[in-house]
Amino acid sequence: MENKFIHEAQIPNPALSKFSRLIGEWKTTGTHPYVPNTIFHGSTSFKWMEGGAFLIMHSQIEEEGIPSGISILGSDDAAGEFFMLYFDERKISRKINVSFDGDVLKWWRDFPSFSQRYVWTFIDDNTIISKGELSKDGQHWENDLELRYKRIQ
């Protein structure tokens, strides 16, 4: 009986429908202020998980210093909120808040000793510009990883 229940829940989550713009394979290039004069190269993929109940993201950067990670995105439909659970090769895990309005996807994590926020802007259906910021004290913000996403599939 339990397997039937799980199978019946493997359906598209209507709250996540706006995230369908991300589905596919993306090539990334970017910079990080802690590693000057270096262009980072990598890839990111977005796929529906469990029939569309969740969205999964795999990201990697080929150069040293930027961790490869996995994120699972879901929603709280009653609250109208989105969340991401993140885990990377350093064994770091985080819960991240997410919003998506028009052509702008944002995610952020507020924590006293280390906060991050990112703004992804769709230039068109095949190009995204991402700009990140970080704070080590919750008050002063500095530039973080910036990436350009180009759809390859």
pLDDT, tens digit, 9 for 90 and up, residues 11-32: 999 999 999 999 999 999 999 9
Tell me: the pLDDT tens digits for 43-92?
Answer: 999 999 999 999 999 999 998 878 999 999 999 999 999 999 999 999 99
Q: Of 6-10, 13-17, 21-25, 140-144, where does mean pLDDT reach its minimum?
A: 6-10
* Average pLDDT of span 137-151: 95
| Domains of the chain in sequence order | 2-151 (2.40.128.20)
Predicted confidence band of residue 114 (pLDDT cuts 50, 70, 90): very high
Tell me: the pLDDT tens digits for 92-104?
Answer: 999 999 999 999 9
Mean pLDDT of the chain: 94
Structure confidence at residue 64 (pLDDT):
81
Structure confidence at residue 1 (pLDDT):
45
Structure confidence at residue 45 (pLDDT):
98
Q: Closest Cα partner for 152 from 25, 42, 66, 61?
A: 25
Write 119-125 long-range contacts (CB < 8 A, 24+). 120/149, 122/21, 125/21, 125/151
Structure confidence at residue 148 (pLDDT):
98
Structure confidence at residue 124 (pLDDT):
97
